[in-house]
Amino acid sequence: MTAEWDPERYLGFAEQRERPFLELVARVPTDPAGLVVDLGCGPATTTAKLLARWPRARVLGVDSSPAMLARAARLAHPPRLSLLLADVTTWEPDEAPDVILANAVWQWVPGHAEVIERLAGRLAPGGSIAFQVPGNFDAPSHVLLRTLVADGRWALPPGPVREAPVLQPAGYLERLARLGLDADVWETTYLHVLRGEDPVLEWVRGTALRPLLAALDPDDAASLEAAYGEALREAYPPDGDGRTILPFRRIFAVGHRPA
Ligand SMILES: C[S@@+](CC[C@H](N)C(=O)[O-])C[C@H]1O[C@@H](n2cnc3c(N)ncnc32)[C@H](O)[C@@H]1O
């Protein structure tokens, strides 16, 4: 997925996107004094929260998006918070990390289960790998998009429409346990209360819709967005008080390597 991110648009829902990160980090049993890596750190607004949570650690944010890292740069504070432009598919740590985090990242990385296995093998004794992925690929927001794309009106390359890019919770549990890690896996469905006009369309503009629009010429992008916006309004109607409820399932996993 090569389309560039728009950090400001992504941060439009910072509060809703931050909560799963904090709930994930709260379950990490390691108290790191060495390296903590935040893979796919994005604008690093969440990464920066780790400095207070783990005051003895050095935090490294890794991301393959120049635009996201440019936004993250204002929060950099070496050696406590450093940033690195790299693809997590091939990136290797220079030292054994105490904690490896990846919040809302693996759904963008083909073959991510193998990457998790490789990086879990680099953990320091007593270290933890922790990640969160969306589990909402059967939700109307995704099904409607796949239906629109399948109708053939828009000439899209096959890549950007992803049917099931993540595993189910049991799949992650099984893989972490197979690596000899103590596994803690759970799921939550948040009921996000959104406001404003077409808030679900605005949400997906920052994520799933982005690579599709980038693959089309401006006229086609506008017509796809209009058709999708209409379908979303029907699927997620606002109530009489202007609130739109967006149910959002997320899957969490923590694997802890015994010391
Ligand atoms: C949905 S954002 C999550 C950002 C941040 N972790 C958060 O919770 O707000 C996904 C991030 O993963 C990054 N990403 C996707 N694929 C990547 C890869 N192969 N290597 C490094 N970063 C990647 C994107 O550039 C983007 O910044």
Domain extents for the chain?
7-256
Band (219; pLDDT cuts 50, 70, 90): very high
Q: Quick check: CB of 63 below 6 Å from ligand 1? A: yes
Hunting for tokens 């997320």 — which residue is that?
250
Q: Quick check: CB of 46 below 6 Å from ligand 1? A: yes
Strands of 58-63's sheet, edge to edge?
81-85, 58-63, 35-39, 99-103, 128-134, 244-256, 182-194
How far is the C-alpha of 144 from the C-alpha of 82, rounded, in Å?
39
Per CATH, the number for 7-256 is: 3.40.50.150
The least confident of 1-5, 67-71, 162-166, 176-180 is 1-5
How far is the C-alpha of 161 from the C-alpha of 2, rounded, in Å?
13
User: Which tens digits make up the pLDDT trace of 5-18?
Assistant: 888 888 888 889 99
Q: State yes or no: cis peptide before 79, omega within 30 of 0.
A: yes
Mean pLDDT of the chain: 94
Q: Quick check: CB of 105 below 6 Å from ligand 1? A: yes
User: Which tens digits make up the pLDDT trace of 155-173?
Assistant: 887 666 667 799 999 999 9
- For atom 15 of ligand 1, the residue with the nearest CA is 108
Q: Mean pLDDT across the stretch 112-141?
A: 97
User: Which tens digits make up the pLDDT trace of 190-201?
Assistant: 999 999 999 999
